Each structure stands twice: as structure tokens, then as C-alpha cells.
Amino acid sequence: MRALRLKDWKSEPVLEEVPRPEPGPGEVLVQVGAAGACHSDLHLMHEFEPGSLPWSPPFTLGHENAGWVHTLGEGVTGLEVGQAVAVVGAWGCGTCAHCLAGLETYCERPDLAPVPGGGGGLGMDGGMADYLLVPAARHLVPLPDGLEVVDAAPLTDAALTPYHAVRRSLGKLGPGTTAVVIGVGGLGHLGLQVLKAVTATRVIAVDGRDSARAQASALGADLVLEPGPDTAERIREATGGRGADVVLDFVGSDETLATAAAAMRQLGDLTIVGIAGGTLPVSFFGLPYETSVQTTYWGNRSELVEVLDLAARGLLHAATTIYPLEEAVSAYDALAHGRIDGRAVIVPNDTFTP
């Protein structure tokens, strides 16, 4: 079968032929219908050094995956061959307290996990291939009626990650509140949709690209701003001087974090989602009183079920550019140079083949 492999740190991926895996007991082989190209993959290719993560290449890229159940390993029940499924990306041990609570992103027994702190496309072979071996049936979510595989794949990260971030701040997003989305890109444009779908908050979107600001307006942002030295002041003016109750920073640079901190309301949440590597000085007088600052990582299986349901009902949709597997390297090049609005989605197979 074909697979897009990252052979080493600081290298470009290579499309090559590899053996098709056979599922063992408890495992499931998925025929991949779509795999999202994530900006974090670019960090894997270009920035990480040996030893910086608890796992290393070589592995097949692709951690946003959906497809069809192809082969069931011994003992697997509850799934049918040919069934359309989305893949939960984080693969924990399944036995620690966090995993038993459904929080496999925060597995506390990396020695028992298939790969410490990762999953398919993150240390183990992912979905930029004709087939994906999934180590346990609990990592698969059947697609609801009305949702196609190619639409579901990017939601497994690009929608799940902002959904998790929004969900943890739901108590601060009632009527009369304001949420700010910084960066209306692959994750941010879905974060904006999540806010509009599940909260009553007013949404302010901030992005430096004309196309992203136009997209934010089309998706229902109540106010769209271009970043600059007066962005935080304009957010305060728009909120009667109070500031934002929740800021979701999908960039995470020094500049965006400084804007977020300056725009916060007392008792607000500042959630750092983007991994641009910026830092935020925190001191007693550095932020409004009782501002909470947190990072989040991905989301869990039950949240993915909710995300897919929202998408099937037409409340979430990823803007996508479709590429065949043969053009996956070109997709990453376009992503690296800012030529993609929304998500790039790689399609190894467009129909199920028994």
C-alpha cells in the first residue's frame, strides 16, 4: 500500500510502498477515506530535534482520519465491515485514571500506551496511507447519518481541539459575554463555529489575512478586527471597557498572547491553543484579577461524538481543499506558505473497497 512517511526529523515526507498491516486481536484495519493535513505536522517536519519528544520517526503522517472498517481483529465487536468511522487520534493506555475517564490525551501511563503522548500520525503510523491500523476499537466513532468521510476527517482535530477548549469555559460564555478568537485559520474558523453553535456569547475574530477576516464575517462573527497595536483597546471599546470573558488564541505567538492578556476581563479565561512558541509573563498585577490561563491538548472521544453530531446537523463544517495522496507533499507546501484557507484534506481512497 502507499504511505506518506516522515523518515527523520527536519526532513520532507516521502510517499512510498509499505506492507499492508494485518489486525491482531482487538485491532481494526481502517481503509482511509480522508486524512487532514495539520499545521502541527509542519512542526514535526521542520522544527523538532532528536529527543524533543518521547517518540521519533520513521512513521506515517496523518492524525486526522476517517474511513471505513476494512478488517476486524479477533474479539472486536460493535463494528461492521464497510462501516464509516472517524478515528480518535490520541491513543492512551486505556487503564489509568485519565484514560478510564475518557481523557486519553492526558494518559498518565505512557509506559503502557502504544506510543507515549501520541497516536496514529504522532509516533505511530497514521492515515496518510491507503490503510490505517487502529490498536483498539474504542478509538473509532461511527459516523452519524448525513456526514461524509471526507468532511469528518478534519473535524477529528481541527474541530475537536477548539470544541474541547470552548467546552471547558462554557460557564463563562452566557448571554452578555464576549469571546475572542485570535487566528481564524484551520482551527480558528471551526472554533468560531463552535462558539456560535453551542453558546450565546458575542464573538470577536482577529486575523491579519483579508481572506480569513472575510471568512470570519461569513461564519457569523459579530466583530472582525485586523491585528495591530490598538487591537486590545478596540476589544475593550466593543465590550464597554470590560474586556473579553474568554480569549481563544489559536496562534500562540508573543504578539497574540500580549494582545490576549491586554484584552482580558476580570474572572476571564485565556486559553492557549496555538503552538507558535510565544510566552506570556504572569504576575500578580500582570493580568486582570482571577484571569485563568491554560493550555489545552486535543479532545476526547465523547467530545468527538458531539462534534460529529453538530457537523451532521449542519452546525459545523470545515473549509477544505482536497488533494489525492499523490499530491500530499504539495498540500503541505501550500499549507506552509499560507495558501490554504481552512484545512487541506488528503484522500487516499474515495470509496470503500472490500
CA distances from 251 to 36, 93, 183, 207 (A): 19, 30, 6, 10
My answer on whether 339 and 247 are in the same domain is no
CATH number, domain of 234, equals 3.40.50.720
Query: Which one of 275, 295, 315 terminates a domain?
Result: 295
Which residues neighbour 44 within 8 Å (Cβ) at sequence distance 6 or greater?
A: 6, 9, 61, 122
342: pLDDT strictly greater than 90? no
The per-residue pLDDT for 51 is 87
My answer on whether 309 and 284 are in the same domain is no
**22-31 residue pLDDT tens:** 999 999 999 9
CATH number, domain of 98, equals 3.90.180.10
Which residues neighbour 98 within 8 Å (Cβ) at sequence distance 6 or greater?
A: 92, 104, 106, 107, 108
**177-188 residue pLDDT tens:** 999 999 999 999
Flag whether 237 is in a domain. Answer: yes
Task: Kindly report the length of the chain.
Answer: 354
Taking the C-alpha atoms of residue 256 and residue 120, their distance in angstroms, rounded to an integer, is 30
3-state secondary structure of 74: coil
Averaged pLDDT, 70-76: 98
Flag whether 332 is in a domain. Answer: yes
Flag whether 173 is in a domain. Answer: yes
Query: Which one of 270, 295, 320 terminates a domain?
Result: 295
My answer on whether 337 and 234 are in the same domain is no
My answer on whether 19 and 149 are in the same domain is yes
Averaged pLDDT, 208-232: 97
Averaged pLDDT, 103-122: 93
My answer on whether 150 and 12 are in the same domain is yes
52: pLDDT strictly greater than 90? no
Flag whether 163 is in a domain. Answer: no
Range(s) of the domain holding residue 61 = 2-157+299-347
My answer on whether 16 and 152 are in the same domain is yes
Averaged pLDDT, 297-318: 97
CA distances from 329 to 62, 123, 185 (A): 12, 19, 20
Q: How many domains does the chain have?
A: 2
Cis peptide before 58 (omega within 30 of 0): yes
The per-residue pLDDT for 29 is 98
Q: How confident is the model at residue 341 (pLDDT cuts 50, 70, 90)?
A: confident
Taking the C-alpha atoms of residue 257 and residue 251, their distance in angstroms, rounded to an integer, is 8
My answer on whether 8 and 129 are in the same domain is yes
Averaged pLDDT, 314-337: 96
My answer on whether 116 and 255 are in the same domain is no
My answer on whether 184 and 153 are in the same domain is no
My answer on whether 191 and 274 are in the same domain is yes
Averaged pLDDT, 151-180: 98
Stated pTM of the model: 0.96
Average pLDDT, the chain: 96
Flag whether 353 is in a domain. Answer: no
322: pLDDT strictly greater than 90? yes
Quick one: which H or E segment has residue 30?
strand 28-37
Flag whether 310 is in a domain. Answer: yes
Taking the C-alpha atoms of residue 316 and residue 305, their distance in angstroms, rounded to an integer, is 13
117: pLDDT strictly greater than 90? no
